Structure 1
């Protein structure tokens, strides 16, 4: 309960308005916060920043392909595979920004950037990602609603653990936190496979023909290039390293954001501000972490203002932290390594049968209140 009480925040950043009592508005004070953020100019577009990155995408990709061809039949290509994995992940971060309308005002322009960057350069279906990621943003860490806590090989809730009754399986689940990060080595292959399944599955999918065409060029063209330059053995090693590290890098960037934060029962109603802040975690680390994680380290700010350009997230963080502190909403921020330790520990707790390892502080408060009535 003390987690929700107002905390002393010391001197406030210039321009920050604070309150001394807990906000009681239906949106948890989000309207007031949004006004502050808008007045600070933090929702303005950063065209120079994003055009620079968009121009670099084909330039860097062409340079990598040229280097790959020049190096030719050599085991040094495994080092090239590492660079490819890094570059593809960085490009995927840019697609993520476009999907959230951070780059252009025009939804159509952002959509086409997602299709070109995501489908054609990375090999991930924009339609698949948009459907999945939109549900996550609407209901972070909510049981039965957030697809990011519904994975076939992991259990994130007690109900998921209870459904797996085989003794060997339950032993593995009890230690699943230790397997979580190695499993991420398969995430790259899974992302491509999920994308292909989505574009050929039944159901509505805008610009299906474009996605099929772009994915075919990216995936088949990339495989053809690798097999033309490298013999089968080295080609398999190259693809294994590239896909493995791509998935690992993606997973290591997304996993710290919500794993190990409170889980919310499916039928629980929360105001928008607390729904987004209490279920998200920021990662400290300065500009190096900002770059390596593609801005995902400012997960609280991103969830509150998904269309905020990436460079503004750093500037918005002190303002949002001060507002949350003043209104008694817990704002969670940790170091990167500490976040991974938290993820591992909590996933293991779920697997070992802890009935409420991610207990929501708001739910606890309501339960205490109901007992005292």
Structure 2
């Protein structure tokens, strides 16, 4: 089904006066921002592509890239996003034909890794669309159950006096929770849960084929107990690598609610690079060029270094900060940021509230004392 414009001739313009004399109906960005489909049940759900407004209220559930990803752009400009909704294996950068990328992606992630291709695609596309945006980037789902993330959210938790974990120690339990167990626990659970929930039986069959192959290959050599230990060891090592590579490029960066910034600025404020070297390129699979990865998701990773100087010059031209740091500094920033910035902000806000409460109680006691003296 092709997506049709909301109304014939409807066009988006930031300045309605600039379209004077035109037969098209013009709307301000404020008008568009009100049509998110989240208010009244009859409210339209608009997004803008190439300055044309589309009502996606009857379409988003059938959107081939997933309902959530297109809904994240309701009331916003989705022009740049439309280009890479369908990226799969290597962000469609391994083979020239899209079908080959999809088939091999399903084989690699399902048969060789025991993960869900559809679940990965759904969550990863949302991450690329709105990186580090609360409620829109699934990679931030650990907040606030396990960790408090970002300055804004830390203060918000303090204001609401919510505390699910001892956040002042999160830089310590990071090493014994999310670092080793993201893959063997969190990812494995959601891979099965979401696949069964979506009734994606082909994807489930690929996942199960991994476990069948793994058991038939190693059980005769190791036995059941040693096999389980070997499997857990592999998953823990995989998790440690993945968490460092993912977190170092995003967690120390700005984390906030969606501010409806332009696409380029949204990517740059949420990502940072790690210095290029033979080891860094190998260790991260060229994901040390995370900025370029987010700007050009369908580009083969080994070409990121070629476009990096152009991105740097563009950032310098428009006074946009381009973050790049050494590998060990990037690792340290994950822990340092967790320990110092976010936790200190949360504790500070908590103490402010406690002081306010104590001051209110003190003022109440003084008032009662004065009333008692007056009565006497």
TM-score (norm 2): 0.62
Which of the residues 138, 145, 159 maps onto 2:136? 145
For the pair 1:298 / 2:293, whether they are aligned, the reply is no
Structure 1 residue 250: Cα displacement: 1.3
Distance 1:356 1:264, change over 3 A: farther
Match of 1:193 in 2: 189
Aligned length: 255
Alpha-carbon distance between aligned partners in 1 of 2:94 and 2:213, rounded to the nearest angstrom:
28
Which of the residues 92, 96, 106 maps onto 2:97? 106
Alpha-carbon distance between aligned partners in 2 of 1:164 and 1:227, rounded to the nearest angstrom:
50
For the pair 1:176 / 2:167, whether they are aligned, the reply is no
- 1:129-278 matches, cutoff 5 A: 129-151=120-142, 152-156=145-149, 157-158=153-154, 159=156, 165=162, 170=165, 172-183=166-177, 184-189=179-184, 190-201=186-197, 203=198, 208-266=200-258, 268-278=259-269
Any unmatched runs of 5+ in structure 2?
A: 1-28, 30-86, 350-376
Alpha-carbon distance between aligned partners in 1 of 2:344 and 2:306, rounded to the nearest angstrom:
40
Are the counterparts in 1 of residues 273 and 290 from structure 2 also a CA contact under 8 Å?
yes
1:56-111: CA deviations, max 9, x gaps?
xxxxxxxxxxxxxxxxxxxxxxxxxxxxxxxxxxxxxxxx9725111223322211
Any unmatched runs of 5+ in structure 1?
A: 1-25, 27-95, 358-373
Are the counterparts in 1 of residues 264 and 295 from structure 2 also a CA contact under 8 Å?
yes
Match of 1:283 in 2: 274
Distance 1:307 1:137, change over 3 A: same
Alpha-carbon distance between aligned partners in 2 of 1:155 and 1:347, rounded to the nearest angstrom:
8
Larger Rg: 2
Higher relative contact order (CA 8 A, sep 6+): 1
Are the counterparts in 2 of residues 141 and 262 from structure 1 also a CA contact under 8 Å?
yes
Distance 1:241 1:161, change over 3 A: farther
TM-score (norm 1): 0.63
1:195-240: CA deviations, max 9, x gaps?
1112111x4x6xx232111111102331343333213442233222
Alpha-carbon distance between aligned partners in 2 of 1:105 and 1:163, rounded to the nearest angstrom:
51
Distance 1:282 1:330, change over 3 A: same
Structure 1 residue 114: Cα displacement: 1.1
Q: Which moved more, 1:230-239 or 1:340-349?
A: 230-239
Alpha-carbon distance between aligned partners in 1 of 2:292 and 2:327, rounded to the nearest angstrom:
17
Match of 2:308 in 1: 317
